[in-house]
Chains A and B, each alone.
Chain A
Amino acid sequence: MSAAIEVKGLRKVYLGKKNGDKIAVDGIDLRVELGEIFAILGPNGAGKTTTVEILEGYRDRDSGEVLVLGVDPGNLQNQDLTWRNRIGIVLQSTEDAADLTVAETVHHFSYYYSNPKDADQVIDAVGLAEKRNAKIRTLSGGQRRRLDVALGIIGSPEILFLDEPTTGFDPEARRAFWELILQLQNEGTTILLTTHYLDEAEALANRVAVINNGRILEISTPGNLGGRNNAKARITWIGDGSREEIFTDEPTEEVKKLAAKFNGEIPELTVTRPTLEEIYLSMINVEAN
């Protein structure tokens, strides 16, 4: 079966006048399967947006092979509009069409696509029902972002690109957004997501790629990234008035021993495994040193 996205040896260099050339993407390989939610994690300037914009057909690449839905976005020629009919894009930030209402904008964009979703249902789905007749300029940052998402999904895309979609969302809106994305996946949409939020990647992604300095450090499931599944558990408690900790592969055994030692409750016991965030930061920091 063919993949939704296939990238081999992707490279992109920005020619700089003052500071010399900057290698934004330095040989990336990845493959996103149909129906998958794939997250790209990485610090600012790691090459996330450049990579995604090449996949979206916004940027040229210097070398490498790219196929999105079997089409090369760097060489669309007369397939341009039929290909764009099959993808949805949520860009990092836009502040356009400020004098139109939410409903006018979503309805208008629905006319661009051959198989659009129902505009009113999309407005409801992104949680803008109460704002449907509000001018865009009156929306808050989070509401505007939800409108961006509405415009990204209105065309029933086969692949949805989301570039840091929940920036500026409050926690409740973020949860609602995650629900929406998982529902899109259930309907068969492939989703490529870049994010700063590790909890977001963990909640949504089937697989994540960590990139830094234009290179992929690892591609894995959120649970297995950086050997997280094999990492030792950390046990802490209060013994003799100060916090003590041990790292172990057998936390249950250790807790049993501690319970026996304290003869009942272990003071302020915690048993944790490294969070995705800790794994991610250690990967980025190793890279930095």
Chain B
Amino acid sequence: MKGILRIGWLRGGIEIKQFARQRESVVFTLLFPVMLLFIFGSVFKDKIAPGVTFSQYFVAGMIASGLVNTGFQQLAITIPMERDFGTLKRLRGTPMSPISYFIGKVIVVTASMLVQVALLLAFGTLLFGLNLPVSAALWLRFLWLVVLGSICSTILGIAFSSVPKSGRGASAVVSPIVIVLQFFSGVFFLFSSLPKWMQDFASFFPLRWLTLGMRSVFLPDNFAAKETGHSWQTNTTVLVLVAWIVVGTIISARTFKWSDR
């Protein structure tokens, strides 16, 4: 009907309004990572390499997890709730294109992600000695990591939204997955210090590669030697993210349900 893009844009506005008016979602999605940053950053101030503290390492990891929180976690929880409430069924009964619906989701994810990254960067630099990238090349790398990472996270959130049986149970299914991946992917601990099986397991999933990518942006270049692969493995990161985007798109297209029956 009337411009799919325009309706998508309008849906983005509506989605952002709803997001901002739900105190739980604002606190849970945006402030919780900042709180974690504050706690971990304050507790673990040890140097893990010359000129690198664990807080710096942790901030890089939290920025990567931020992409997972605002995309995957947020969508995999809210879409099942919308399915339960009948929101999706009602939308399906209108001439709104499904594409517009997904554009709206991308917009709300992007908006909350920008706020999230800005908060983490601000707190990280002000309180925990995070160094902002100095070169244009590093900023560029940061940019494509954020873009690719959030696309991947959004699509996997949509793909996973068919898994929880009910809206009420969604967060119980989704949150543990995110938390376990955070533990396994080098957010709360040094990735190189984790058991080999944990590293291998995490390497199947995007978060481990996103954290590595963010460290390549925010930590000194010579820290690469301390990573498990002794390099930043940028190519592998891109490959894994793109692969998950493809897989997520196929799963979403096949399994997305507008109502629970």
Contact B95 A58 (CB under 8 A): no
Decide: B90 and A94 in contact? CB cutoff 8 A.
Answer: yes
Which chain B residue has the least Cβ–Cβ distance from A93? B86
Q: Which of A59, A96, A111 contacts B90 (CB 8 A)?
A: A96
Which listed residue (B85, B86, B90, B95) contacts A81, Cβ 8 A? Answer: B95
Asked whether A111 and B2 contact (CB < 8 A) given A82-B95, A100-B18, the answer is: yes
Contact A84 B94 (CB under 8 A): yes
User: Which chain B residues border A89 with CB–CB below 8 Å?
Assistant: 90, 93
Interchain CA distance A95-B83 in the complex, whole Å: 10
A111 close to B7 (CB less than 8 A): yes
Give a binary string over A253-287; 1 marks a CB under 8 Å from any B CB, 0 the rest. 00000000000000000000000000000000000
Among A59, A82, A85, A99, contact of B21 (Cβ-Cβ < 8 Å):
A99
Chain B residues with CB below 8 A from A104, complex form: 14, 17
Please, which residues of chain A bring their CB within 8 A of the CB of B97? 81
Contact with B along A38-76 (1 / 0, CB 8 A): 000000000000000000111100000000000000000
Decide yes or no whether B190 CB sits under 8 A from chain A.
no
Interface residues on A, range: 20 to 34
CB pair A84 B87 closer than 8 Å: no
Are B89 and A112 neighbours in the complex by a CB distance under 8 Å? no
Task: Digitize B44-83: 1 where CB-to-A-CB distance is under 8 Å, 0 elsewhere.
Answer: 0000000000000000000000000000000000000010
Contacts of A97 in B (CB 8 A): 14, 18, 87
If over half of B's interface residues share one DSSP class (helix, strand or loop), that class is named, otherwise mixed; here it is: helix
- Chain B positions 205-229 with a Cβ under 8 Å from a chain A Cβ: none
Counting CB contacts under 8 A, is A133 at the interface? no
B171 within 8 Å of A (CB atoms):
no
Q: Which residue of chain B has the shortest Cβ distance to A84 in the bound complex? A: B95
A8 at the interface (CB under 8 A from B): no
Expressed in whole angstroms, the Cα–Cα distance for A100 and B18 within the complex equals 6
Asked if A186 is an interface residue, CB under 8 A from chain B, the answer is: no
Residue in A56, A100, A112 whose Cβ sees the most chain B Cβ within 10 Å: A112
Give the docked Cα–Cα distance between A112 and B11 (Å): 10
Contact (A85, B14) CB under 8 Å given A58-B259, A97-B87? no
Contact of B86 among A82, A95, A108 (CB under 8 A): A95
What's the nearest-Cβ distance from chain B to residue A184, in Å? 17
Contact B89–A94 (Cβ < 8 Å): yes
Smallest CB gap from B20: residue in A: A99
Question: Which B residues fall within an 8 A CB radius of A?
Answer: 1-2, 6-7, 10, 14, 17-18, 21-22, 82, 85-87, 89-90, 92-97, 259, 261
15 further A-B pairs in the complex, CB-CB below 8 A; given A89-B90, A94-B86, A94-B90: A56-B93, A58-B93, A81-B95, A82-B1, A84-B95, A91-B89, A91-B93, A97-B87, A98-B85, A99-B17, A99-B18, A100-B18, A108-B10, A111-B6, A112-B96
Closest 8 CB pairs of A and B: A96-B87, A94-B86, A99-B21, A85-B95, A89-B93, A96-B85, A84-B95, A81-B95
Question: Which residues on A are within 8 Å of B, measured CB to CB?
Answer: 56-59, 81-82, 84-85, 87, 89, 91, 93-100, 104, 108-109, 111-114, 135, 151, 155
